Amino acid sequence: MTDKKLYTTQLGAGLGLIEETRTLLNLWQPGMDSSALYQAALDSGDFPNVTARRLRNIVAECFTPRYLVKDDYPAIQLKQLKEGLSSTELTQLFFLFTSRANTILADFVKQVYWRKYAGGQDAISRDDAKDFVMDANQNGKTIRYWSDSTIKRVSTYLTGCCAAFGMLEKGRKSVRKIIPFRVHPNTVALLAYDLHFAGIGDNAVISHPDWELFGLQKEDLKEELKRLSLKGFFIIQSAGDVISIGWNYKSWEELIRVISE
From CA 118, how far away is CA 6, in angstroms rounded? 27
Q: Which amino acid type is present at position 165? A: F
Q: Where among 177, 208, 228 does a domain terminate? A: 177
- Chunk the chain into consecutive blocks of 10 residues (it has 261) and report each block's average pLDDT, rounded to whole numbers: 75 94 97 97 94 96 97 96 94 98 97 95 95 96 94 96 95 90 95 97 94 93 93 87 89 94 81
Q: In terms of C-beta density within 10 A (0-12 exposed, 13-18 middle, 19 or more buried), how is residue 165 classed?
A: buried
Q: Please say whether the beta carbons of 44 and 179 come within 8 A.
A: no
Q: Please say whether the beta carbons of 28 and 120 come within 8 A.
A: no
Find the distance separating the first CA and the last CA of the chain, reported in whole Å: 29
Give the pTM: 0.94
CATH number at residue 241: 1.10.10
Q: Are residue 169 and residue 116 in the same domain, yes or no?
A: yes
Beta strands at 123-125 and 175-177: parallel, antiparallel or unpaired: antiparallel
Beta bridge partners of residue 238, listed in sequence order: 243
Q: Residue 3: what pLDDT?
A: 47
Q: Which of 90, 159, 106, 107 is nearest to 130 (CA)?
A: 159
Q: What range does the domain containing 169 cover?
A: 102-177
Q: Where among 177, 203, 220 does a domain terminate? A: 177
Beta bridge partners of residue 247, listed in sequence order: 234
Q: Please say whether the beta carbons of 121 and 178 come within 8 A.
A: yes
Q: In terms of C-beta density within 10 A (0-12 exposed, 13-18 middle, 19 or more buried), how is residue 171 classed?
A: exposed
Q: Where among 36, 56, 85 does a domain terminate? A: 85
Q: Are residue 34 and residue 75 in the same domain, yes or no?
A: yes
Q: Residue 2: what pLDDT?
A: 39
Beta bridge partners of residue 124, listed in sequence order: 176
Q: Is residue 162 part of a domain?
A: yes
CA 240-242-256 angle, 5° bins: 125
